[in-house]
Chains A and B, each alone.
Chain A
Amino acid sequence: MNRSLPFEVFRYAAISLALAVTLVPTLWMASMAFKPIAEWSAAGADLTWWPKNPTLDNFRFIFGTSTSDLIVALDRTAGKPILSSLLSAVFGTLIAMGCGTAAAYGLSRFGSGKNLPLALIQLRLFPPMAVMIPVMIMWAFLGLVDSWWGLALIYGIVTLPFAFWLMKTFFDDMPREIEDAALVEGCSRSRVFMKITLPMMRPALASSALFVFILNWSDYLIALLLTTREWVTIPVYMASLSSSMTGQLYGAKAALGLIAAVPPVIMGIAIQRHLVRGLTFGALKQ
């Protein structure tokens, strides 16, 4: 639109500022994760942007290896919360993608379940906090509280709208000629779906699944309400890491935060082509 020199200068200046603001919080945490305890809360003139004496002690500490400086006894290590986050997010993604893909295909090809698009948008609309009381009652009744499978079930339901809408737009975009040709050849509908449609949709399935996984992995509130001890996820564990006894365990929390933050950032950048479609429920394709 505009290519004058002052504009170019302004553009790079503005973008540099935006990049700095974007990166500083993340880099501060990354740097904190490698700082020894003496540098954790050094303030004023002693404040260090990069660790002076970089160490892996924070990571060793959260995984239960005692270190010389940190003589705080952890009642549990980060291993189980990481496992809990992984299991609940992976199986939640499988539930959402399984039900969502099937329903999206049913609607896109056979016009079944016409109520679903709106019903699922409404599901997304309401604050989770406003429906959690009955969910907590139901989960307690079904014995699903404080388990990764209970979390996986609610994650699957909460992210079903995204899985459904994403896959629906992908199915709507897919040319039907290939399916029709196979039908003429005498394949059954379900065989066409399994043997032709799904393999063709592999890239779409992969990016939708990653998108849904990021959402599940990012949850804090639901895990806070539905897990108590055994299967707390990373964010819940992280919040419980410091107490009045130990004070703020800055470095340890930063190390854990880094572990939690890196996978979704990499996945998100990998699927950035489809992010707009996912975030707008397929209303906007890029």
Chain B
Amino acid sequence: MTSLATPEKVSMADLAQGDSPQAEDGGRRLGFLLTLPAQVLVLFIAVFPLLVQLYISLTDWSPLDGIGWWQAYELWNGFANYTDLMADSRFWSALGRTALVMAICVPAEFLLGLGLAILFMDDFVGKRVFYSIMLIPMMVVPAVAGYMFFMLFQSGGPVNDILSSLTGMDVSIAWLSNPTTALIAVMIADIWQWTPLMFLILLAGLVGVPEDQVRAATLLGASWWQRFRTIVLPKMKTIIVIALAIRVIENFKIFDTLYIMTGGGPGVATETISVYIYKVTQQDLIWGYVAAIALVILVALSILVSLAISRMNAGKEA
């Protein structure tokens, strides 16, 4: 059974607690103590880093300057990092590339995952075993998956071997050395690894659609596509939104597989936003500038997310 979580169930215990203020007090103290460690960790990772980030981003500080980060005010440069960023074409093209990867990978993962989930809806021989095997890619360590695909896409590797035997010609594409094919290769790796996640979530959603409604529609003579479009899809709306949101968020962070496969190359052909930030952090070591990039991304994401949430809430009320 699949069900959407219901917020805050009211049980008899809640009502009973309201009658005895003493128990309520003891509970509140214990509740406070229990949530304290998590609160401390959240504060530790949210407040201080954000302040440091903001401070560093207004300076030219680099760990090679020989002065501590707290003395970064000596290298104060106001908003220069932010104005530089506006003119940084490498940043903008990395951002565009990330959007391109997302625009291709997420829909591909969704459609493949949905198709597979539909095939797995009813029982057939071997379903359980096939289901477990289908989940393997998303459990493989992403860096290892990156290395698998690095091997597969070598010019003498198995991908070209399969293509050769399919076409009957001698295919020897140097996948990872050509800007276009390298981008295709990293997208294939992402789709391979994360289609199972879409499959898993969408299948859980499909199985949760009430069977009696589908059966009633079948008796009324609705075709498969009509049933799917008018009954199944509307019931799946929330689940589809969740699945897409998860992949959009995770895909935006894409780093591990891609970096192992191409290191962002050739040149900057597969440089996504995370790879770009990593390179500036590790190779150029201009941390003040990195902090500015990071803050801009954090603020932009926060605005996008609050817009998305308010739109979803508006949709719920309508």
Contact = CB atoms under 8 A, between A and B. Distances in A.
Interface of A: 1-3, 8, 11-12, 14-15, 18-19, 21-26, 28-29, 32, 41-44, 47, 49, 98-100, 102-103, 105-107, 109-113, 116, 119-120, 122-138, 141, 156-157, 160, 164, 169, 172, 176-177, 179-180, 183, 188-190, 193, 214, 217-218, 220-221, 224-225, 234-235, 238-239, 250, 253-254, 257, 260-261, 264-265, 267-269, 272, 275-276, 279-280, 282-286
A14 B120 CA distance: 11
B265 interface: no
Interface of B: 1-5, 9, 11-13, 16, 23, 26-28, 30-35, 37-39, 41-42, 44-46, 48-50, 52-53, 56, 69, 115-116, 119, 121-122, 124, 130-145, 147-149, 151-152, 154-158, 161, 170, 172, 192, 196-197, 200-201, 204-205, 214, 224, 227, 239, 242-243, 246, 249, 252-253, 255-256, 259-260, 273-274, 277-278, 281-282, 287, 290-291, 293-295, 297-298, 301-302, 305
Contact of A131 (B49, B151, B156): B49
A11 B144 CA distance: 31
A285 B122 contact: no
A84 B41 CA distance: 23
A125 B305 contact: yes
Contacts of B147: 29, 238, 253-254, 257
Contacts of B119: 11, 14-15
A251 to B, nearest CB: 10
Contacts of A111: 31
A-B complex: 5 closest residue pairs judged by Cβ atoms? A43-B156, A110-B31, A112-B31, A106-B34, A113-B35
A239 B258 CA distance: 13
A5 to B, nearest CB: 13
A132 B294 CA distance: 9
Contacts of B273: 127, 129
A238 B158 contact: no
A160 B142 contact: no
Given A43-B155, A132-B281, A235 B294 contact: no
Contacts of A128: 253
A123 B48 contact: no
Contacts of A157: 41, 44-45
Given A1-B122, A11-B119, A264 B224 contact: no
Contact of B154 (A41, A217, A286): A41
Given A130-B277, A268-B135, A25 B44 contact: no
A164 to B, nearest CB: 6
Given A112-B34, A113-B38, A285-B3, A261 B144 contact: yes
A42 B154 CA distance: 11
A280 B52 contact: no
Contacts of B200: 275-276, 279
A26 B39 contact: no
Nearest to A264: B139
Contact of A127 (B130, B144, B252): B252
B274 A25 contact: no
A15 B35 contact: no
A111 B30 CA distance: 11
A112 B35 contact: yes
A47 B32 contact: no
Contacts of A28: 148, 151-152, 158
Contacts of B156: 41-44, 47
B204 A276 contact: yes
30 contacts: A11-B124, A19-B134, A26-B136, A29-B148, A103-B34, A106-B30, A107-B31, A110-B34, A112-B34, A126-B298, A127-B274, A131-B294, A133-B56, A136-B281, A157-B44, A172-B9, A188-B26, A214-B139, A220-B143, A235-B260, A238-B147, A254-B147, A261-B141, A265-B139, A268-B139, A269-B136, A275-B135, A280-B246, A284-B242, A286-B204
B281 A225 contact: yes
Contacts of A132: 281, 294
Scoring B5, B26, B214 by chain A CB atoms within 10 A of each residue's CB, the highest score goes to B5
A16 to B, nearest CB: 9
B31 A1 contact: no
A268 B138 CA distance: 9
A227 to B, nearest CB: 13
A20 to B, nearest CB: 10
Nearest to A121: B305
Contacts of B35: 102-103, 106-107, 112-113, 116
B165 to A, nearest CB: 10
Given A134-B48, A157-B41, A189-B30, A21 B135 contact: no
A185 to B, nearest CB: 14
Nearest to B282: A225
A156 B281 contact: no
